[in-house]
Amino acid sequence: MERIVEIEGVTRQFRRRIALDDVTVGVPRGGVFGLVGENGAGKTTLIRHILGLLSAQSGTVRVFGLDPVRHPAEVLGRIGVLSEDRDLPPWMRIDELMRYTRAFYPKWEPAYAEQLREMFELDPRAIVSSLSQGQLAKAGLLVALAHRPEFLVLDEPSSGLDPIVRRDILEAIILTVAEEGRTVLFSSHLLDEVERVADRVAMMHHGKIVLDDTVEDIKTSHHRIVVRAARGQEEAPEIPGALSCRGIAPEWTMLCRAPLDEIKASVLRNGGQVVDVATPSLEEIFVGRAKTKGLETAGV
């Protein structure tokens, strides 16, 4: 399977702060790739490397097989970008913004751009600085989509937006990926959205990739179990792959990443009982993992 983005062993340090710590991750062509992590985890820094705005201090970054720092025009011409701060000239009108952006993208389709503008209900004469948060996001999305890029990169597209605008943005993502061969990468901390729309998710924590898998595999490999400990046991039982634990004796709720039969066997061996099993949401998994200490070793 072809990969649009190949990042290998990239480390990025800003003075004393390590923003990216030996990051290796790939984005396959086609489908939606979600990048999640708390603020400061390194998502935007990673995206900036993909866009060639930052040069890797170690390791390699390849987009469409090219180094985005050495081939900026070639790479960026095939990418539609919506950055977190939207980055639109505040004094421009919407129609001026469209004309301005068109100049950078030979593949810009004026008719399609017009359709998008109408779809997003943006007044061509409105000035960017007068737009609401939602309208700003839509304007940014318009110029990202209008040249029908192979690769759409969205940094926190939904942050600070009301649910209605968020739906419109999700819809635009789905429409994009429904067209053959197009790829979307979006970073978000709205995990319920990521869960319904992403095919793969990479989770970052303190500059490291702590999870990189399909949404399906993540959901099927994590379990939320309720364990009734053996009589007299004051502490929570030790379960393979346990990521978090809460409760008081004798009942504990634990989040585990391990095969279910192994978990059950382990609980039984300790004289306990598995009382309930459920599939945790991506948000629960995220919170559970972020709070787990000792995440340094990969593979958990």
List contacts with another protein (CB under 8 A): 31-32, 115, 118-121, 167-168, 170-171, 174-175, 177-178, 192, 196-199, 216, 219, 275-276, 278-281
Please name which of 128, 175, 129, 120 lies closest in space to residue 152, comparing C-alpha atoms: 175
Nearer to another protein, 31 or 157 (CB): 31
For the CB of residue 118, give the shortest distance to another protein in the complex, in Å: 5
249: Cβ–Cβ under 8 A, 6 or more apart, which residues?
Answer: 229, 233, 234, 235, 236
For the CB of residue 80, give the shortest distance to another protein in the complex, in Å: 18
Nearer to another protein, 121 or 235 (CB): 121
Nearer to another protein, 33 or 76 (CB): 33
Nearer to another protein, 70 or 196 (CB): 196
* Type of residue found at 256: C
Indicate the angle between helix axes 163-178 and 133-145, nearest 10 degrees: 10
For the CB of residue 136, give the shortest distance to another protein in the complex, in Å: 17
Which string of b and e fits 156-173 if b means at least 16 CB within 10 Å?
Answer: bbbeebeeebbebbbebb
Whether residue 202 contacts residue 43, with contact meaning beta carbons closer than 8 Å, is answered with no
Nearer to another protein, 174 or 298 (CB): 174
Whether residue 207 contacts residue 41, with contact meaning beta carbons closer than 8 Å, is answered with yes
Nearer to another protein, 54 or 165 (CB): 165
Nearer to another protein, 126 or 295 (CB): 126
For the CB of residue 168, give the shortest distance to another protein in the complex, in Å: 8
Q: CB atoms < 10 A from the CB of 106, how many?
A: 8
For the CB of residue 105, give the shortest distance to another protein in the complex, in Å: 22
User: How far apart, in Å, are the Cα atoms of 167 and each of 35, 161, 184, 186, 234?
Assistant: 19, 10, 16, 15, 47
For the CB of residue 159, give the shortest distance to another protein in the complex, in Å: 18
For the CB of residue 243, give the shortest distance to another protein in the complex, in Å: 17
Instruction: Tally the C-alpha atoms within 13 A of residue 244's C-alpha that lie toward its C-beta.
Output: 15
Whether residue 168 contacts residue 120, with contact meaning beta carbons closer than 8 Å, is answered with yes
